[in-house]
Amino acid sequence: MATFTDAMSRLVSGLAVITTRRAEGEPCGLLVSSICSYSVDPPSVLVVVDHASRCHDPLARCGEFGVHVLGSAQEGTARTFASRGADKFAGLAWEWDAAVPRLRAAPIYLRCTATAVFGHGDHTVLIGEVTRADVAEAEPLVFYRRLLDWRLRGGGGLHP
């Protein structure tokens, strides 16, 4: 499986923070690279969450969640949500959007209603129908070869 993991590390992907509300009312969130457009009609995304994540259970049981696609200026946010830190929202600009914690700095924000949740291997697949979409211009933050600080630069090249 090491060869498989190495092969998948060479797949360029965007990075997103997925957020929801815990049963106790506190926000939770995690960084993912396993996210994609799932359907245009209805507009839907597919997100994959590791069972070991502290945010797994709230996401697997949530009614709504947020997808925050990060831009190159959010490398610090990416590192925060990739960490095992307890309060990932401390010091960040965020607000509640209905039951969804929304990060203000993310250039792309999608509020989603969970429509399907199922397990596969050591992950849970979460499909969400998009109920709100806000988009601002920004260069993407890209995940490649296990590093989250890659950026697209002039001429379309990928550079650390």
pLDDT digits (tens, 9 = 90+) for 18-28: 999 999 999 99
- Tell me if 137 sits within 8 A of 107, measured CB to CB: yes
Q: What is the pLDDT of residue 83?
A: 86
- Tell me if 94 sits within 8 A of 102, measured CB to CB: yes
The pTM (predicted TM-score) of the whole model is 0.87
The stretch 105-128 carries a mean pLDDT of: 95
64: left (phi over 0), alpha (psi -120 to 50) or beta: beta
pLDDT more than 90, % of the chain = 61
Residue 116: how many CA atoms within 13 Å on its side-chain side?
12
- Tell me if 30 sits within 8 A of 70, measured CB to CB: no
Rg (CA), the chain: 15
Mean pLDDT of the chain, nearest integer: 87
13: pLDDT confidence band, cut at 50, 70 and 90?
A: confident
Q: For 83, list phi and psi in degrees, rounded to 5.
A: -80, 175
